[in-house]
Amino acid sequence: MLTTAAALEAVLAAMPEFPAESVDVADLVGRVLRETVVAERDQPPFDRVMMDGIAVAYADYADGTRSFPIQATQAAGDPALTLEPGKAIEIMTGASLPEHADCIIPVERIHVEDGTARLEDGYDAGQQQFIHPRASDHAAGAELLWPGKRISPMDIAVIASCGLTTARVSREPVIRVISTGNELVPAGEPIEAHQIRMSNGPAIQALLGTHGYNNCTHDHIADEPELLRERIGAHVGAADILVLSGGVSMGKADYVPEVLKELGVERVFHKVSQRPGKPMWFGTGPDGQAVFALPGNPVSALVCCRQYVIPALEKAAAAAPVPPEFASLAGDVTFKPDLTCFQPVKLISNAAGQVLAMPVKTNTSGDFTALSATDGYVELAQEQSQFPAGTPVFLHRW
């Protein structure tokens, strides 16, 4: 069996790169950027007023002037006026600084009567106060966003400020999630005592969606070789990524590996030295499709999806690598030292602000209910058997 590190390396090495496409700004959130976004103009593009009030020349204030005749009013979006000596221009937040003005007195610090603004007694003004200098955020031509960035709502403000109506991002992959098993019954349909509700497929779809991969549909196929061959074959031909759940162990009804072989999907590996998720299978289709066949137990399926499928999609989307994250165990963990253990955890913090990972026990790898209380899982090396509280461990958030 491959180690978990070797399995992930093999998956990443097999992944193609999704092509880039231009997408409207309104649809960019969550997509992976494939171009450098460059500033169209200085930001701010002019000396920007930061407070409602009056604009004056600081030299007049320094000479003892405390009453300023109001010359004019300038709102945000108006062309900059030219301030006359000894006078003030009534100014609004966001306006461009009038020429010859270099001090903003807030409206709360003045009293206006008969067209004259008088400063409150004892007010201490400063030169350049409440002025956001031109290009102090960035200059025209500055690189603001880079390829590999997953676009956030805050990035939309940057992109729009650069005058862009579209940006180039990685194409969304077509993903098919396939649940196999005669025992599975979807929610809303009648169910017998010997059957179970289908949960893996919807959960895998949801997990992919939280990482930005939403072009994903789900299918349920019974454990019948001909039906599996027909339906999986159609999905292989239509999708970039296939994620199957169930049918990959050693039982007589575990037909998935053989069916995939018949469909021309070349096996890269089958079984990984980990707990849970040991039976995982991975291969590549005739046209470079990535095919993940995950174990049917829910905890195993979700851990394998997060451990291998998500990083594979990030690699293919040309997403920037995410720095590793660590936490300290909040409780002792002991297990048999033969497989890497992916231990579900709930994250807490202590008084010092340190992130702690509290182990959450699952009642076998079928206990998906326990995962509801978790934030992710930690990776415990197969060479050890005892991990006392305080041990630093590699953290994978869901």
pLDDT in tens, 322-334: 999 999 999 999 9
**215's tokens:** 């072009």
Q: What are phi and psi of 202, to 5 degrees?
A: -60, -40
Inform me whether the pLDDT recorded for 44 exceeds 90: yes
Q: Where are the beta strands (DSSP E) in 30-158?
A: 37-38, 48-49, 53-56, 67-74, 88-91, 103-106, 110-113, 116-119, 131-132, 143-145
pLDDT of residue 252: 74
Q: How confident is the model at residue 21 (pLDDT cuts 50, 70, 90)?
A: very high
The secondary element (H helix, E strand) that includes residue 268 is strand 266-270
Class of domain 4-18+172-316: alpha beta
The CATH number of the structural domain formed by 325-397 is 2.40.340.10
Contact between 265 and 284 under an 8 Å Cβ cutoff? The reply is: yes
Contact between 88 and 67 under an 8 Å Cβ cutoff? The reply is: no
For domain 48-132, give its CATH number from 3.30.200.20, 2.170.190.11, 2.40.30.10, 3.40.50.300. Answer: 2.170.190.11
Inform me whether the pLDDT recorded for 337 exceeds 90: no
pTM here? 0.89
Helix (H, G, I), strand (E, B) or coil at 55: strand
pLDDT of residue 1: 87
Contact between 76 and 169 under an 8 Å Cβ cutoff? The reply is: no
Amino acid at position 151, single letter: I
Residue 4 has, within 13 A of its CA and on its CB side, a CA count of: 23
342 burial (CB, 10 Å; 0-12 / 13-18 / 19+) is buried
Give mean pLDDT, residues 183-198: 94
- Write down the domain spans for the chain: 4-18+172-316, 21-43+137-170, 48-132, 325-397
The mean of the pLDDT values for the chain is 96
Give mean pLDDT, residues 36-64: 98
Q: How confident is the model at residue 363 (pLDDT cuts 50, 70, 90)?
A: confident
The CATH number of the structural domain formed by 21-43+137-170 is 3.90.105.10
Q: What are phi and psi of 334, to 5 degrees?
A: -130, 135
Q: Report the percent of the chain where pLDDT is more than 90.
A: 94
**Residue 86's CB: how many other CB atoms inside 10 A?**
15
pLDDT of residue 5: 97
